[in-house]
Structure 1
């Protein structure tokens, strides 16, 4: 039997270690989280995307009583960016998530569906997307590419 080893590198940062641009992106993600519609899970998520044209796009999770019909914050932001600025590239993404009843300190990464959607844009633009994620407070995790979060990605080359 042959084995392969897959390694991912994630940086752990404090707010103080973020650049001014990254702090602004974090603030936009926190603001977006405050606009989440999460009456069923009470778990709010906010995302902010920085495009190469310096636009910042926000998204928040939007739930629905028919659970699969809702949409995650990351995909709300990505799809809006793609629809509004189809030629812009996504440079960075910041995600924050926490239940309504407490401030989660554990960084929450994108779900599988969001990882696949981020992967699509990373391949489409042929440029890595830097992804930051956090709870409501505490450490911030940084990945220099979606490939760290989804190393065996399915993409258009498999079709």
Structure 2
């Protein structure tokens, strides 16, 4: 038997104000689009903003549907749109924020499993890490230097 220890490293910022200006701007774009999310059923609104290598920012919010699971998360809305419109541009960073109409979300809300897998696809495709920032409605912002950092055992094209 062999014991393997895996360690994921994150940086936590006490607030959005501790981020560099570029990262603050990206998170503000995620907050802006989160407020326009369509979440009449869950009352849980998520916004994502993606920074491409040429400085373009692509936004996405969650879009729910009465016929579950026909809706789509903010992260996948943004990343699919980014690849559809800018297929040859690398994704540098993604900022994610979530808020509930039912309570204050003051802890960082990471992407769900399906979104992690989708982000991983593009990180693998471009062979470059995608930096990630995620937060609730307020409070701590968590930073990960790559998607693989939060999904160490992953399934990608090399698994096929």
Tell me if both proteins adopt one fold, taking TM over 0.5 as the criterion: yes
Superposed CA deviations along residues 99-150 of structure 1, whole A, max 9, x for unmatched, are 1133310100000000000000000001100000000000000000001110
Matched, 1:52 2:53: yes
Distance 2:28 2:80 in 1: 20
Matched, 1:10 2:14: no
Distance 1:126 1:157 in 2: 12
Give the superposition deviation at 1:87: 0.3
Distance 1:3 1:102 in 2: 41
Alignment map for 1:78-157 (pairs within 5 Å): 78-157=79-158
SS at match of 2:153: coil
Q: Which runs of 5+ in 1 are unaligned?
A: none
Distance 2:50 2:25 in 1: 11
TM-score (norm 1): 0.97
Partner of 1:34 in structure 2?
35
Give the superposition deviation at 1:2: 2.1
SS at match of 1:110: coil
Q: Which runs of 5+ in 2 are unaligned?
A: none
CA RMSD of aligned residues (A): 0.8
Give the superposition deviation at 1:5: 1.2
Partner of 1:72 in structure 2?
73
How many aligned positions are there? 159
TM-score (norm 2): 0.97
Distance 1:104 1:147 in 2: 25
